[in-house]
Chain A
Amino acid sequence: MNEDEFQVGECGHDDGLYPLSRREFLQSVGGGIIIFFTVGGASTAEGQRRGKKEHPDFNAYLRIGEDGKVTCFTGKVELGQGVVTSLAQTLADELDVPLQSVDMVMGDTARCPYDAGTWGSMTTPYFGPVLRTAGAEARAVLIELAAEHLKVPKNQLDVKDGVVFDKTRKERKVTYAQLAKGKRIERLLEQKAEVKNVSEFNVIGKPHNRIDALEKVTGKAQYAGDIRVAGMVYAKVLRPPAHGARLKSLDASAVDGIDGAQVVRDGDLIAVLHKNPDEAEKALAKIKADYDLPEARFDDKSVFDYFVDNAAAGKVIEDGGDIESGQKLAQDVVEETYLNSYVSHATMETHTALAQFEGNKVTVWASTQTPFGLQRQIADGLSLPVENIHVIAPFVGGGFGGKISNGQALQVVKLAKIAKKPVQLAWSRADEFFYDTFRPAAVVKIKSGLTDSGKIVLWDYGIYGAGGRGAQMFYDVPHYRTTVYGKLRNGEEPHPFATGPWRAPHNNTNSFARESHIDIMASRAGMDPLEFRLKNLTDERMRGVLKAAAEKFGWTAAKVPSGRGFGIACGSDVDVPVALIAEVEVDERTGSVQVRRVVCAQDMGLVINPEGAKLQVEGGITMGLGYALTEEVHFKGGRILDLSFGTYELPRFSWVPEIETVLIKADDSPAKGGGEPPIICVGCVIANAIYDATGARLLQLPMTRERVKAAMAKRSSHAALPT
């Protein structure tokens, strides 16, 4: 499955989605200077990449109000990734205003123009440059106005902190507020304005603390579940025992109408409404429901064989040379199979939404990465025009790709419509584990070939269950082929429950397999794993991050396993090459792995907020410890067995290594998103470090204590540690 197709399909974007005309927007904006702009320009790079066709004539705008306040309106959402800060920085710099005077209005379908959604590390590379141009355009308009006002030629003027002044006589000045007062100027950005050079930046590229931190440390930041409207009630939904279960009978007589509880049913959606959410939950437990359960096709242990045995013909997504020639050239052929389990997003905020109807109009506050996608989903579901649906995404408590399909919001809209009152639904933690769109379980089979001099000459790569993002071969291999086995022979989707994008979709899986396999080959060739990689790699940016990480770490060459517990790995996501080096300690008795230190080098082009970028790297690496070491959804058919943090283990404070980040200086290269790349190599770098420490090769994620012990028990004599 292609994750891009999945996302677009899930979001349901289409022609004619954009609900408000520019005129309608203008009526609601008020006075001041308003700049409209289109992300990606006329060609909408983002739209093309996603294979969509919508053509709004603008999809964000900014306003310099009559009070001098700058407001940027965008449909992007703040999920914790920090764009509320980096976008404000971008705008403040081009406009020459203090960062504090920029307000960001985000994720509101009535106040912000259309946006496809916040995912795929796309905000910074696609939205950022246009925002810069818009800021520059607004500044140019203001300079023009100031020239008229001060009767001074434009080239004699400069701006600092929102004040335009005459460079020759600094007391001749006028503020943005004075210039915008009583004005009504609209411009549609045509990407003509010149943006600043790197050397002129005042705010971009400088570390800055998050601008949303104050609200978040005082408890004032509002998430969807914190919104209260008059007359609202809380819903709890009845979770079926398994995916694919069919309701046979229902007895809600012990609940409905008792102690203020109301039972609402719409087909298979059954919920209890109550003025208190905890009482709704208590009442829900008293509903008796019988289900027919489908036969389980497989469980968390047999899933891998099932995928491989039942795979339909694969789709070759990339090839070069020919496999037969590669086989002839190979003096050593290495074949191995890599596995990874289903993984949950497990955001701290469970999916939450509140729906309030007024006639045939509805307002929905939802934790979502796709407010406009949700607007369309609701419109389709209720057969209402999109303009009747107002979606607001307040602060969102983590997304990671999990808040794209909007299941909770679609449920709550139905409930509010039937109950004829505002309803808020927050999935319980168990609901969250059940309804989540997991990262798919997958199998990767690799057959590779080496020459005696340590050159890779053959690479035949097949992935079952997941997609090809991150599977592209960037080492220099003359004969290679990458095949994705997405469907089963009978045409069925392989997964018994919903799966979806999970921070750098598929790339954690593919990088784990590729980099583990590269390490095995390095070891077979008797070479240091860094040296082996560099020998087979001409991509300058990838070599750059490997060398930068090695330098920071203080890497010294050794054959693996060396007993030191050092691992190295590299990969690429959203055109950002990244290299990780880790040091681990393995307790041979318990199989427990402690990661001591991780160095990450990342080449993400121009870095807007170095502090924010480092925060994302640290977050990615720490979050990655979970999928690497413990996180795994156990299941039997459609029945999910992990429904709480009691059995599904997230990374904790004591697991966290020292993390050092090197951001490659590349100010002249376009800014790229940095939230996803750092996580892709966490699994493989730890696997490689465990091998270096113990001589035991882990071929399955997560690398639980049991699996580490089992791998150590299987150690072959050739892998024995130097004594």
Chain B
Amino acid sequence: MKVNKEKGWTEGGFHRTSNKPRITAAQLKKVVLDNRTEVCLYTRVERKSTIIWAKRGFNMNETISFKVNDKSVSLTTDSERTLLWVLRTDLGLTGTKYGCGKGLCGACTVIVDERAVRSCVVPVRSIKGKKVFTIEGLAKNGKLHPIQEAFVKHDALQCGFCTPGMILNAYSLLLRNPQPTKAEIIRGMENNLCRCAAHLRIIRAIESAVQKMKGTRQK
């Protein structure tokens, strides 16, 4: 194992000692062909693919530009880092929460190009040139978004840790379907977890925001 200081990545890997590659030819092909698959492969077999990563320069810093809450951002970092931690550490936007790191709870939900995504599993390279909204960017000119207002009015939260993700997931849901039925709200929110169990209030808050937003395409 040695560090290539010039290029900024670590060379070598755990399968150096073996003559046989520990990933199959089929997987290798996928790695070469498809950038997205590499991410999956990495999380699945981890150490075993280190050498491939190194050769392809995955530990290399890259300059990435995108918009966050209407402001342009440009930062130089390892492009495989997750959007969640870039937001929380490099950009100081701590309203986006870490809940599970596997995209299973929704606490880290942010809006990328008008869609809710789980920022804990999104590599920052994939948002180059895109528009990101976090909870900090939802209220405009000091005025709460109707969904935020409804969460306050209906006590749709307790500890508040899942709340930013809940609100942004609801925001995305209403962008796609401005007049959802209760069943559609439940289906749309199903994969956001809340341990204090404010579910009933959250449903009610979204229903009331829908009423309030009727006829306006509010962002």
Contact = CB atoms under 8 A, between A and B. Distances in A.
A348 B89 contact: no
Contact of A397 (B160, B185, B197): B160
Interface string A618-656: 111111000000000000000000001110001111101
B22 to A, nearest CB: 15
Given A396-B159, A398-B161, A645-B105, A219 B203 contact: no
Contact of B186 (A234, A279, A426, A654): A654
Contacts of A659: 200
Contacts of B3: 258-259
Contacts of A79: 159
Interface string A232-271: 0010000000000000000001100011000000000000
Dominant secondary structure of chain A at its interface with chain B: loop
A218 interface: yes
B158 A82 contact: yes
A259 B59 contact: yes
A615 B161 contact: no
Contacts of B81: 276, 278-279
Nearest to A278: B85
A113 interface: no
A228 B161 contact: no
A2 interface: no
A34 to B, nearest CB: 31
A216 B85 contact: no
A716 B194 CA distance: 39
B132 interface: no
A314 to B, nearest CB: 34
B167 interface: yes
B130 interface: no
| Of B95, B134, B139, most A-chain CB atoms within 10 Å | B95
Contacts of B187: 654
Contacts of B33: none
Nearest to A352: B98
Contacts of B161: 80, 223, 347-349, 397-398
Given A213-B152, A349-B97, A615 B47 contact: no
B193 A652 contact: yes
Nearest to A286: B47
B199 to A, nearest CB: 4
A644 B100 contact: yes
A611 interface: yes
Contacts of B192: 653
Contacts of B49: none
A259 B10 contact: yes
Contacts of A210: 152, 155, 157
Contacts, number: 189
Contacts of B90: 276
B56 to A, nearest CB: 16
Contacts of A82: 158
A615 B194 CA distance: 13
Interface string A212-226: 111111111111011
Contacts of A426: 98
A349 B3 CA distance: 36
A429 B100 contact: yes
Given A219-B136, A349-B159, A646-B104, A651 B197 contact: yes
Contact of A217 (B104, B151, B158): B151
A156 interface: no
A428 interface: yes
Contact of A618 (B59, B88, B200): B200
B75 to A, nearest CB: 12
A218 B157 contact: no
B169 to A, nearest CB: 11
A112 to B, nearest CB: 20
Contact of A348 (B78, B96, B195): B195
B213 to A, nearest CB: 16
A659 B186 CA distance: 16
A247 to B, nearest CB: 20
Interface string B131-158: 0001110110000100010011101011
Nearest to B107: A348
A285 B199 contact: no
Contacts of B201: 615, 618
A216 B160 contact: yes
Contact of B199 (A218, A281, A656): A656
A40 interface: no
Given A219-B134, A650-B195, A615 B100 contact: no
A326 to B, nearest CB: 40
Interface in B1-43: 1, 3, 10
Nearest to A81: B158
Nearest to A399: B159
B70 interface: no
A350 interface: yes
Contacts of B82: 278
Contacts of A618: 197-198, 200-201
Contact of B159 (A80, A254, A611, A656): A80
A619 B198 contact: yes
- Most chain B C-beta atoms within 10 Å of own C-beta, residue among A217, A619, A654: A217
Q: Which residue, of A219, A225, A426, A658, has the highest number of chain B Cβ atoms within 10 A?
A: A219
A566 interface: no
Contacts of B134: 219
A350 B85 CA distance: 15
Contacts of A216: 157, 160, 163
Contacts of B178: none
Contacts of B101: 281, 428-429
Contacts of B57: none
Interface in A348-406: 348-350, 395-398, 400
Contacts of B89: 234, 275-277
Contact of B197 (A222, A350, A619): A619
A538 interface: no
Contact of A222 (B94, B139, B194): B94
A263 B122 CA distance: 27
B164 A219 contact: yes
A80 B148 contact: no
B190 A652 contact: yes
Contacts of A669: none
A219 B135 contact: yes
Given A213-B152, A218-B135, A259-B3, A619 B196 contact: yes
B174 interface: no
A346 interface: yes
A209 interface: yes
A682 to B, nearest CB: 11
Contacts of A619: 158, 196-198
Given A278-B85, A429-B100, A615-B201, A218 B148 contact: yes
Given A228-B92, A277-B89, A646-B102, A213 B193 contact: no
B99 interface: yes
A82 B160 CA distance: 11
A78 to B, nearest CB: 8
Contacts of B68: none
19 contacts: A80-B159, A210-B157, A212-B160, A215-B160, A216-B157, A217-B167, A220-B136, A234-B89, A259-B3, A276-B85, A278-B84, A279-B78, A348-B105, A348-B159, A348-B195, A395-B159, A429-B100, A622-B199, A652-B193
Q: Which 10 A-B pairs have the closest CB atoms?
A: A219-B95, A80-B159, A216-B160, A397-B161, A622-B197, A80-B158, A219-B135, A226-B94, A645-B104, A429-B100
Interface of B: 1, 3, 10, 46-47, 59, 78, 81-82, 84-85, 88-90, 92-102, 104-105, 107, 134-136, 138-139, 144, 148, 151-153, 155, 157-164, 167, 185-187, 189-203
Given A276-B90, A398-B161, A429-B100, 17 more contacts: A80-B196, A209-B153, A214-B144, A220-B95, A221-B160, A234-B89, A278-B84, A348-B162, A350-B99, A395-B159, A396-B159, A398-B159, A400-B195, A622-B200, A653-B189, A654-B190, A656-B200
